Amino acid sequence: MHSRRLASGIVLPGTNAILMSSYKHEAFAFANRLTDEQIRFFNKHGFLHLKNFIPRETVNHFIGEIDQIHEELISNNVKKINGIPLKYGYASNNRQIIQRLAFASHYSKTLSSFLKDERLNALLPLLGNYEGRIGEDEKDGLVVNHYENTSQSTFKQLGWHTDSPRDLFLGSRILPMLNVGLHLDDCPVSNGGLRFLPGTHKQNLFGLFFRKKYFVDNNPDKHEVGVDIEAGDLTIHNGSLWHRVEQSPHSGEKSRRRVMYIPLITGAYKPKHASSKTPFYHKLAQIKLPSLKWRSASLPDYSYTQTVKS
C-alpha cells in the first residue's frame, strides 16, 4: 500500500512505512558486552530484554536506598528536583511515597555508583555511531517509578507515548536516546506493566507525533507486546518506540511495580540544576492532542513466546 496525501498536505504512511518484521520475544543473558545478535535484535525491534542484570540482593539494596530517599524528600517537603516535579502518592500501607522520582542518584551514593558501572556503559553501542553517555545530571536523570493501585495512588498506569519529542521541549532537535529500565519487582504480563509496539522506532515524524494520543490513550493495541519481567531484569527501549504501562488488574501490594529508568543520551552536555525550568512535557498529560485515526494495517502481527538466550 502506498502513502496517501491529505488535502492538508500531511502524508499518511502506507503499510510500507514501518519495516515489516515479525516479533518473537527473546530475553537474553548479558555478560559484559552486547553480542551482535543482541544489537541486531534491538535495531530491528527497538527493544531488548536482558535477564538478571543484577541479583535479588542488589535489588533489595536499591529498594532500601529508594525508601530512604523518599523519607528524606517527604520530610523536607521537596516538590521538584532540578525543575522536575515529583509525583506524590500513597502505597497500600497508607505510607506516603513518591511515585515518580527524578534525579534519584543525586540522593544516594549507591545509586550514583551503579550509574558508573561498566556494564551500563557497555550498552552505549546501541546508540550506533553516536557518542553516548549516561545522563545522570541531564533530562530527568535517574527516574524511579512506583506504580500501585491504592485509593490514594496517583500513578497506576501510563498512556501511550514515545520519549523522543521531549527533546523539542528542551529546545533541541530530536536525537537518538535509549531508556534503560532496571526492574525492581516481578511483573508477569498478567500483572500489567510495560507494553510496546515493536518496530515503531523506525517510523517517520508523522508516526512519531500522531500514531496515538500522547499520554491520554491507555487502550491496548492489537500489535502491542508485553513481557514477563523478573526483579533484576533490564529492558532497553529506543526513545522513539511507542510504549505504555498497563494498569495491574490487582490492587495493593500485588499491583506494586517499581522500575528505575536510566537515560542513555547523546548530543551537547546539558546538565540540569536547582533553578532549571519545568519542561512543558510534564504538563502534556493534561492536554488533549488531536485525534487522527491510524490504520492498524501499518504494523505486522507479533507473537509472544519467551525464550532466554545466552
Tell me the backbone φ, ψ of residue 56, rounded to 5 degrees. Answer: -55, -40
Q: C-beta of 245: minimal distance to ligand AKG in Å?
A: 5
CB of 82 to ligand AKG, least distance (A): 16
Distance from C-alpha of 212 to C-alpha of 195, rounded to nearest angstrom: 14
By beta-carbon proximity to ligand AKG, the closer residue of 158 and 265 is 158
**C-alpha cell recorded at residue 91:** 502505597
Question: Which residue from 167, 168, 184 is spatially nearest to 265, judged by alpha carbons?
Answer: 167
Instruction: Please say which residue, 35 or 306, places its beta carbon nearer to ligand AKG.
Output: 306
* String marking each residue 182-211 x if it binds ligand AKG according to CB under 6 A: ------------x-----------------
The residue (of 34 and 84) whose beta carbon lies closer to ligand AKG is 84
Closest CB to ligand AKG among residues 69, 101: 101
Report residue 117 as a C-alpha cell: 558501572
Give the type of residue at 271: P
On whether the CB atoms of residues 27 and 308 are closer than 8 A, the answer is: yes
Asked if 158 touches ligand AKG (CB under 6 A), the answer is yes
Cα distance between residue 43 and residue 109, in whole Å = 33
108, 145, 200, 248: which one contacts ligand AKG (CB under 6 A)?
Answer: 145
Using the minimum distance from each CB to ligand AKG, give the nearer residue, 41 or 261: 261
Q: Which grid cell is 113?
A: 555508583
* Residue with Cβ nearer ligand AKG (223 or 282): 282
Q: Does 46 bind ligand AKG (CB under 6 A)?
A: no
Stretch 160-179: interaction string toward ligand AKG, x if CB under 6 A: ---x----------------
Q: Does 245 bind ligand AKG (CB under 6 A)?
A: yes
Q: How far apart are the first and last CA of the chain?
A: 39
Q: What is the DSSP letter of 187?
A: B
Q: Determine which residue in the list 225, 259, 260, 262 makes contact with ligand AKG, applying CB under 6 A.
A: 259
Task: Please work out the total of residues on this chain that contact ligand AKG, with binding judged by CB under 6 A.
Answer: 10
Supply the minimum distance, in Å, between the C-beta of residue 259 and ligand AKG.
5
Backbone angles phi, psi at 298, to 5 degrees: -80, 0
Phi and psi at residue 233, to the nearest 5°: -75, 155
Query: What are the C-alpha distances in Å from 197 to residues 122, 212, 274?
Result: 25, 11, 36
DSSP tag of 10: P
Identify residues 261-290 at the interface with ligand AKG (CB under 6 A): 261
CB of 100 to ligand AKG, least distance (A): 7
For residue 99, the minimal CB distance to ligand AKG (Å) is 10
Beta strands 4-5 and 11-12, pairing class = antiparallel
CA-CA distance, 84 to 67, in Å (whole number)? 19
- Grid coordinates standing for 85? 516535579
CA dist 83 and 273 (Å) reads 8
Shortest spacing between CB 135 and ligand AKG, in angstroms: 14
Residue 25 interacts with ligand AKG (CB under 6 A): yes or no: no
Among 139, 243, 256, 282, binds ligand AKG (CB under 6 A): 243
Q: Which of 181, 198, 226, 232: binder of ligand AKG (CB under 6 A)?
A: 181
- Interaction site with ligand AKG (CB under 6 A): 143, 145, 158, 163, 181, 194, 243, 245, 259, 261
